[in-house]
Amino acid sequence: MSFESSHIPPFTPSLKAFTKDEAMRYPSIPFAVYQIIQTISLASQGLLETINKGTASRVMAAEVTYNASGDKQQQLDTVAHIGFVEALASTEQVGGIISEEAVDLVELDSKMGNYIVALDPLDGTANLSVNAPFGTIFSIYQRISPLGNPIQTIDALQTGHKQIAAGYILYSTATMLVYGTKYGVHSFTYEPTVEAFLLTNPAIQFPKEGPSYAVNDGYFNQFPKAIQQYISHAREQGLGSRYSGALVADFHRHLLQGGIYLYPPTQQKPAGKLRLMFECNALAFIAEQAGGLASDGTQAVLCLEPGTLHQCIPFYIGSANMVKQLLHFMA
């Protein structure tokens, strides 16, 4: 018995065609930004091919080390980091990259590169060993220092509201790329028969409410009392608990269906665990452009002034009404 994929609807635009059209309609966003997104999409296809060929099973078995954020780092994390850096270095638009897998700013050869890309090359690496979803997170900033000079750390340490675009790639039963600008959030699904990402969800809007919350309940007893109270309230209201171990996967569910994601501080990590520059800013930008909210418990994530590249924060993101209710508990 054979199973054939459904026919692709006519006039379904590819990521390349859609971004080209969007660049013409919204000239305030330079075309170079869309070219960077396209480059990231091509690099993600290379990473997916590596994993599907079984190469991942070999590199995943390698010795585990630790990255600059103190998290366990498998060789596949490094493979993903190198793949995205090499792809972005091939463009003339990107002057530097900051990555969860690199201690410092990665300066590229192009001193005329006007943009900085922030990367979490592989979110949820541990999920690969059990065939569960994982992802890539990225965001794009315009540099502050003059063109022609070496890129500087100050170019990367910008508040989240200065992002020009942000996005993520979800590798699961289908591979999806979601990106957002101030003109909206759009989702594309990879179609292997044409080797391209095709538009599937234009102009996504975050539902104001949702049926579920996502949190690592194993740390419940370490959470602040207000967070414990909110989770207990959510259970009493009949909300389902959905936690995958991959931030991208949990966020994507809530973006489409509504819900809230929580990563509170714990006794072991009082400053939180998720990285402001590589994970939180990008998803907060997407959430707010789609009508959702993101907070560290005291203020909007996009307003936080970064102090270091690998700064961690508590993180709460999702449907606007649900985040507001959580902040009411915390107040």
Are residues 192 and 46 part of one domain?
yes
Are residues 247 and 186 part of one domain?
no
Q: pTM higher than 0.75, yes or no?
A: yes
State which residues form the domain around 223. 212-330
Q: Is 104 a catalytic residue?
A: no
pLDDT of residue 65: 57
Are residues 292 and 232 part of one domain?
yes
Average pLDDT of span 38-50 = 94
Q: Note whether residue 284 is domain-resident.
A: yes
120, 155, 250, 296: which one is catalytic?
120
Alpha-carbon gap, residue 273 to 123, rounded angstroms: 13
Counting the structural domains of the chain, the total is 2
Are residues 195 and 80 part of one domain?
yes
47, 108, 122, 283: which one is catalytic?
122
Judged against a pLDDT cut of 90, whether residue 6 lies above it is answered with no
Are residues 274 and 314 part of one domain?
yes
Are residues 233 and 196 part of one domain?
no
Tens-place pLDDT, residues 257-270:
999 999 999 999 99
Confidence of residue 51 (pLDDT cuts 50, 70, 90): confident
Average pLDDT of span 100-125 = 92
What percentage of the chain carries pLDDT values higher than 90?
80
Q: Is 250 a catalytic residue?
A: no
Confidence of residue 66 (pLDDT cuts 50, 70, 90): low
Q: Is 77 a catalytic residue?
A: yes
Q: Is 122 a catalytic residue?
A: yes
Q: Please, what is the angle between helix 281-289 and helix 247-257, to 10°?
A: 10
pLDDT of residue 131: 83
Are residues 148 and 40 part of one domain?
yes
pLDDT of residue 72: 61
What is the domain-level CATH number for residue 239?
A: 3.40.190.80
pLDDT of residue 317: 98
Q: Is 120 a catalytic residue?
A: yes
pLDDT of residue 111: 75
- Strand order across the beta sheet in which 134-142 lies: 106-107, 94-99, 115-123, 134-142, 165-171, 175-181, 184-191, 196-201
100, 155, 250, 296: which one is catalytic?
100
22, 77, 155, 288: which one is catalytic?
77
Alpha-carbon gap, residue 178 to 153, rounded angstroms: 27
Q: Is 296 a catalytic residue?
A: no
Are residues 95 and 139 part of one domain?
yes
Q: Note whether residue 146 is domain-resident.
A: yes
What is the domain-level CATH number for residue 118?
A: 3.30.540.10
Average pLDDT of span 78-95 = 94
Judged against a pLDDT cut of 60, whether residue 2 lies above it is answered with no
pLDDT of residue 73: 59
Q: Give the residue among 198, 260, 194, 252 at the shortest CA–CA distance from 230.
A: 260
Judged against a pLDDT cut of 70, whether residue 203 lies above it is answered with yes
Q: Is 109 a catalytic residue?
A: no
Q: Note whether residue 320 is domain-resident.
A: yes
What are the start-end ranges of the E strands in the chain? 65-66, 72-73, 94-99, 106-107, 115-123, 134-142, 165-171, 175-181, 184-191, 196-201, 212-214, 240-241, 260-263, 274-275, 293-295, 312-313, 315-318
Under a CB-based contact definition with an 8 Å cutoff, are residues 306 and 278 in contact?
Answer: no
